[in-house]
Amino acid sequence: MIQIGQYNKLKVSELSQFGAFLDGGNLGNILLPNRYTEDDLKPGMEIRVFIYLDSEDRLVATTEKPIARVGDFAFLKVSAVTNVGAFLDWGLAKELLVPFREQRVRMQEGEKHLVYIYLDDATKRIVASAKIDKFLDNTSPKYEPGDKVELIISGETEIGFKAIINQTHSGLLYRNETNEQLKTGAHIPGYIKRIREDDKIDLSLSPLGMQAIQDNSSLLLSRLDQNNGLLPLTDQSSPEEIKLLLGISKKAFKKAVGTLYKQGKITLEKDGIQKVK
């Protein structure tokens, strides 16, 4: 199935004076204009192309590489402003529209803005929105402390910098934990520091190393002390049981258990974890 606003591998169905027609399945033939074809292109060959809509809203293929794709957050420059909205340079011949209703502030030519690129359900056109919060994933994050992630700086607050994590969730880098003055739109590597009880995500620019494991080990010892030295958790316990009792993932739990067991601070019993007295 053809994905608009994404790369697709399509087979050349025929060549014409206008370029190569690619087999778009139930969407019919899709033109790859002459300027993107190579001399050795023949019917039956498969080619990787980006599919989008031209200025007349016809599906068209290109071998050009856009800065971002549908489903991505990207920091793009305003190339023009018209009576329908602002147009952004995203690396393709047809520029990317941000309708006025999707602008947080009125965009001006030459500015750069962080936007989300999506396929509009009503018009089936690829457009962008600067109202990025509504496109962030608000479901419970699946990350672990210490996980390496890709960040896009999305804004600044009094206490730090907001960042988009792996094109999905939002997190926070605390100002007092970074010496850098981070700019909106910057792409940087980062690390998951912790997942808070409200599912908010704290970030770090430095690898956590053993810190997260040590924190979870201390938490486990504390819970053991609160439960007379025994917790009814084993390797067979479900992730839900572990989350309920400790507030951490099963993966993090197993790392903490392994550390404490090697240190001789716990024993592993049939019915749970026993703290060594």
Instruction: Report whether 147 contacts 192 (CB < 8 A).
Output: yes
pLDDT tens digits, 225-257: 999 999 999 889 998 898 888 888 888 889 889
- Confidence (pLDDT) at 209: 64
- Confidence (pLDDT) at 212: 67
What's the first-to-final CA gap in the chain, in angstroms? 62
Q: Which domains, from first to last, does the chain contain?
A: 7-62 (2.40.50.140), 73-134 (2.40.50.140), 148-204 (2.40.50.140), 212-275 (1.10.10.10)
- Confidence (pLDDT) at 210: 61
- Confidence (pLDDT) at 205: 86
pLDDT tens digits, 61-108: 999 999 999 999 999 999 999 999 999 999 998 999 999 999 999 999
DSSP annotation of 271 = T
- Confidence (pLDDT) at 246: 87
- Confidence (pLDDT) at 248: 81
- Ranges of the chain whose pLDDT falls below 70: 179, 209-212
Which residue type is seen at 151?
L
Q: Nearest 5°: CA angle at 37, between 32 and 41?
A: 105
- Confidence (pLDDT) at 178: 78
Q: Beta partners for 20?
A: 15, 32
Q: How far is CA 56 from CA 82, 97, 122, 160, in A?
A: 17, 14, 16, 44
